[in-house]
Amino acid sequence: MKYLLIFFLLPFTLFAASPHAGKEEMNGIAYKDYKNFLQDWTLVTIRFRKDTGEMRMTYANKIAMETLANGKSDYKKGAALAKTGIATSPDKSFTSSIVPRFIRRYQVMVYDPQKYSKTNGWGYALFDPSGKTFPEDPIETQESCHACHTLVADDGYVFSRPFDFQGKTRFIEVGKNRKSPLRFEEVDTKGLPAALRAIVGDNKTASKLVFEILADKIFQGALDELKPILEEEAIIKKRPTFFLSKDLKRFVAVIPNDVKECAFDSGVDVHMTLLDGKVHKESVCLHD
């Protein structure tokens, strides 16, 4: 499925002032210690988020690369991975070609089994383009980062597989036959919290994404990451689809609609709670 973006999420920086924002270090990971990763580390792979037009580039330091290149998952202390999130837009002189525009954020994962024993040895940090932290609580964010990375626990909690950019090395593939452990459940909308029910409308049933470990530890970025998974389900099943936090306060809901501006077929409305509790709505076109 190709996704055509017509609107994108408000930047995190619009959220209310927080004691956690603007720091140079998060969960014992200081941005300055990792800022040279672009020059010094190996580019592992590139990924592209179809719905948000975001390009992601993942880099690994030498210790992490040894594990990755051998198709292993037993990361050693000191292994570190970094990911850039880059906003893109069409090249004005040739609009079917997409070009990078600006860095949205840096994400870092560092392996230290003693220090980060609660998250299976991985410490997580998230920085804005100037190397400063975002407003959300660092510990809760780390737990949320890790909750999603448990989807690839068998691969040492690392999603990326090395791509051979030079065409010389043959990396050993692991996780080739990965299947998503995520599942959806059909639920009666009567039991949903009022704010969510108001969005789901007159529909009697909806699809609920069952991802308990993440529902317990949610942060803004996790809601954002789940959007494409929910969009796919909403389109296939043609019914409202949502993910709801365990405390019933935060959610992202995707409602199939008939957006007139969509060139090919119908799109979806995506409703997502922000940090201040308000619900943000965006409309996205989807087509095959």
Contact set with ligand HEC (CB under 6 A): 47, 56, 58, 81-83, 107-109, 124-126, 141, 144-145, 148-149, 158-160, 221-222, 225-226
Q: What is the greatest pairwise CA distance in the chain? A: 57
CB of 194 to ligand HEC, least distance (A): 26
Q: 104 or 197: whose CB is closer to ligand HEC?
A: 104
Report in angstroms how near the CB of residue 109 gets to ligand HEC at its nearest. 4
> 219 or 286: whose CB is closer to ligand HEC?
219
| Closer of 81 and 196 to ligand HEC (Cβ) | 81
Residue number, 48 or 264, with CB nearest to ligand HEC: 48
Closest contact distance (angstroms) between CB of 16 and ligand HEC is 19
Residues with Cβ within 8 Å of residue 35, at least 6 apart in sequence = 131
* Distances, alpha carbon 190 to alpha carbons 72, 127, 193, 202, 249, in Å: 47, 40, 8, 10, 16
For the CB of residue 125, give the shortest distance to ligand HEC in the complex, in Å.
6
Residue closer to ligand HEC, measured from CB, 243 or 262: 243
Nearest distance from residue 209's CB to ligand HEC, in Å? 10
Shortest distance (Å) from residue 55 CB to ligand HEC:
9
Q: SS3 string of 81-103? A: EEEEEEEEEEECCEEEEEEEEEE
Considering beta carbons, is residue 20 or 56 the nearer one to ligand HEC?
56
Read off the tokens for 175.
């996780």
Task: Provide, rounded to whole angstroms, the least separation between the CB of residue 156 and ligand HEC.
Answer: 9
Backbone phi, psi, residue 85, to 5°: -110, 120
CB nearer ligand HEC, residue 58 or residue 241 = 58
CB crowding 177-195: b at 16 or more within 10 Å, else e: eeeeeeebeebebeebeee
